[in-house]
Amino acid sequence: MPPTPAHAGHGLPPTPATVLDEAAFTARAQARLEELYGPRASEVLRRLTTLVMHQRGAIDATPRPLWSERDQWLITYGDSLLDGRRPPLEALDAFLDERLPETFSGVHILPFFPWSSDDGFAVIHYREVDPALGDWSHVRRLADKRDLMADLVINHVSRESLWFVDYLAGSLPGRDYFIEMDPDTDLSEVTRPRSSPLLVPVSTRRGTRHLWATFSEDQIDLNFANPDVLLEFVGILLYYVQQGARMIRLDAIAYLWKEVGTSCIHLPQTHAVVRLLRAVLDFVAPGTLLITETNVPHRENMSYLGLDRLGKTEPDNPGESSAEYTAPDEAHLIYQFTLPPLLVHTLTSGDATALRTWAAQLPPLPAGCSYFNFTASHDGIGVRALEGLLPEHELEVLLELMHRFGGYVSMKANPDGNDSPYEINISYFDALKGTRRGPDAWQVERFLCSQNLALALQGIPGIYLHSLTATLNDHEGVERSGRLRSINRRRWHKQELDELLDSRSTPTREAFLSLKRRLALRAGEPCFHPEAAQRVLDTAPGVFAIQRGPLPGGRRLLAIHNISSERQPLELPELDQGEWYDVLADGALWQPEERYQLRPYRSLWLVQTLP
């Protein structure tokens, strides 16, 4: 097998962090605060600087590299695994040590704070750990062994929070933390992710008031036009970093700023808040990553990398003024929301045309920016990202097929008063139980093909625990909770999961061991560095293929996937250019099968070092 960088220096180095000194931080913070608060910016900056400098002494400010090919994340709830003897966070830690000791570089524990609804996303206390899960010592122990991603649930708060109690009583600080609105106000332009009413009536000491609630009547939106709210969340952000968080996930960030008469999504002030939080991290804890969660059409999602604002990140000509371009200073990563539904469409239709067109049009990423590639998460499979990528009739076919495979469809409210599909609620394993012809015997192979393909794409992979365990649709969970998203939020009892993992032939064991092996191989392959170039290759509709690299020294990788239930020809001129070695076959010399015929759902990761 061709030598790896560890032997011959053919790889890319870990990506360095952006480091801001105090002067640079102050300048960036001042600019962002002026966008948000105008003439009040100087006073808010004084308070922000005091807060940041006070917290900075408790945080290790040594710059950490952003990422390398070894970065791979597990996504899980703190109580997705229960053993009945230990706090769930301790049971999770033990499971990772026993079953996945070196598989993942990091773990995203979904909101582990006291909560009142939405499985953690209606936070009651931001600086406490839900006692049903454990305590901060369990969180820190997990963070000591691997990188930790924590949620900053920044758009809204539980109505059981102390802030909301303050509001009801007319007491500070919560009195001014929420958005009151006259119910007769025209809010028809507001973009909604839900079909529930936007304004919630609340009884206070001052009578009935109507509050902005984007997601549910229990999740009351916070008023970031009040700088006290922003400063509160900067403090919470830094507290999470003190507890060991390496990555901060900005939940539902797109809806943060409200302005009557607008869509109230992706407003310039929202981007200014993200950029301010990035400046805080680059100053206090350089190398701590900021990731935005925005389940929206692809072009809108890309804006959180600053691509719509930057235009370009370096001069075209040596003499061009530096004022003509701006370095990226928004999120480090965005969730690649287009990938989950587009992969399901591709693998159930047996046609990679839409996937290939989308991937070929992805713009070059600025240095220090990347994608978080996932196929499944605690939420459903969002379909808004398919807008403009799939014809309406193709989306209708996909939704009907997911119904046949046991899933549901959640809706959102539109300005015209109608509802439209927002996400598919189904386990990813069951979403791939067949094709448009119906269920078949290829479910495991088709599912593993989806994971192989996602692991090969440019970016950093995130694997949901229930993909790792090939979890089926949890209809009983839906009945118990009354929430469609519970279909993909099963809580495993450790004994039951151990039995499935230790049995000779179960989909759970096959998926778990196969993914564990693929992740180990991926982590050792330098062509999977997040900043290694990606080029989409021209193939037949039943094949999706990309090239990663070449790297310094000429190393390149071809990731080739048969996304259909039929054998597919491999008509790639690159395959005739010297010898190739198959990473998925432990680096063995690749021997073309039956004159370049690829079996159904087979994947190849072929590497070569050019002279």
What is the pLDDT at residue 2? 52
Q: Burial level of 49, CB count in 10 A (0-12/13-18/19+)? A: middle
Contact of 407 with 475, CB cutoff 8 Å: no
Strands 603-609 and 555-562: antiparallel
pLDDT score, position 472 = 97
Token pair recorded at residue 209: 């008031």
Homologous superfamily, domain 20-62+150-155+224-315+323-331: Glycosidases (3.20.20.80)
Establish whether 251 is a catalytic residue.
yes
Q: What is the pLDDT of residues 177-232, one digit of tens each?
A: 999 999 999 999 999 888 889 999 999 999 999 999 999 999 999 999 999 999 99
Q: Which of 93, 147, 151, 251 is catalytic?
A: 251
Give the pLDDT confidence score for residue 361 in this predicted structure.
94
Q: What is the mean pLDDT of the chain?
A: 93
What is the CB neighbour count within 10 angstroms for residue 555? 24
Mean pLDDT of 5-24: 79
pLDDT tier at 54 (50, 70, 90 boundaries)? very high
pLDDT band at 593 (very low <50, low <70, confident <90, very high): low
79 has binding-site annotation: no
pTM for this model (two decimals): 0.94
Distance CA 374, CA 367 (A): 21
Q: Does the structure show a pLDDT above 50 at 311?
A: no
Whole-Å CA distances, 290 to 9, 263, 281, 382, 385: 30, 24, 8, 21, 21
User: 70: helix, coil or strand?
Assistant: coil
**What one-character-per-residue DSSP string does 578-601 give?**
S--EEGGGTTEEP--STTTEEPTT
Q: Using CA atoms, how far apart are residues 12 and 504, in angstroms rounded to an integer?
A: 40
Dump the DSSP string for 154-218. -SEEETTSHHHHHHHHT-TTGGGSB-B--TTS--TT---SSSS-SEEEEEETTEEEEEE-SSBTT
Q: Can you give the pLDDT at residue 3?
A: 44
Q: What is the CA radius of gyration of the chain?
A: 24
- Contact yes or no for 177/171 (Cβ under 8 A): no
The reply to whether 184 sits in an annotated binding site is no
Q: Residue ranges per domain, the chain?
A: 5-10+533-609, 20-62+150-155+224-315+323-331, 156-221
379 is an annotated ligand-binding site residue: yes
Range in 368-377, 462-471, 533-542, 594-603 the model is least confident about: 594-603
Looking at domain 156-221, which CATH architecture does it have?
A: Alpha-Beta Complex (3.90)
Rounded to an integer, what distance in angstroms lies between the CA atom of residue 75 and that of residue 92?
12
475 carries a ligand binding annotation: no
Extended strands (E) in 419-542: 419-425, 434-435, 438-439, 460-464, 492-493, 534-536
Top-level class of domain 5-10+533-609: mainly beta
pLDDT of 576 reads 87
pLDDT of residue 594: 53
Whose CA is closest to 431, among 449, 455, 413, 456?
Answer: 449
Instruction: Indicate the range of 2-16, 401-415, 434-448, 505-519 predicted with least confidence.
Output: 2-16
- 596 vs 356: which has the higher pLDDT: 356
Report the distance separating Cα 304 and Cα 246, nearest Å: 19
Q: Is the peptide bond before 421 cis (omega within 30 degrees of 0)?
A: no
Residue 608 CA to residue 585 CA, distance in Å, equals 14
Query: Does 339 score more than 70 pLDDT?
Result: yes
Dig out the tokens for 25 from the structure. 């931080």
CA distances to 280, 331, 371 from 275, rounded to whole Å, are: 9, 7, 17
Cβ atoms of 378 and 488 within 8 Å: the answer is yes
List, for residues 108-151, the tens digit of each pLDDT value: 999 999 999 999 999 999 999 999 999 999 999 999 999 999 99
E strands of 288-384, at which residues?
Answer: 289-292, 333-335, 370-374, 381-382
Segment 569-592 mean pLDDT: 90
Percent of the chain residues past pLDDT 90, beyond the cut: 86
Q: Is the pLDDT of residue 14 over 70?
A: yes
Pairing of strands 333-335, 289-292: parallel
Residue 250, marked binder: yes
Mean pLDDT of 331-344: 97
Q: Is 466 annotated as a binding residue?
A: no
Query: Is the confidence at residue 523, as pLDDT, over 60?
Result: yes
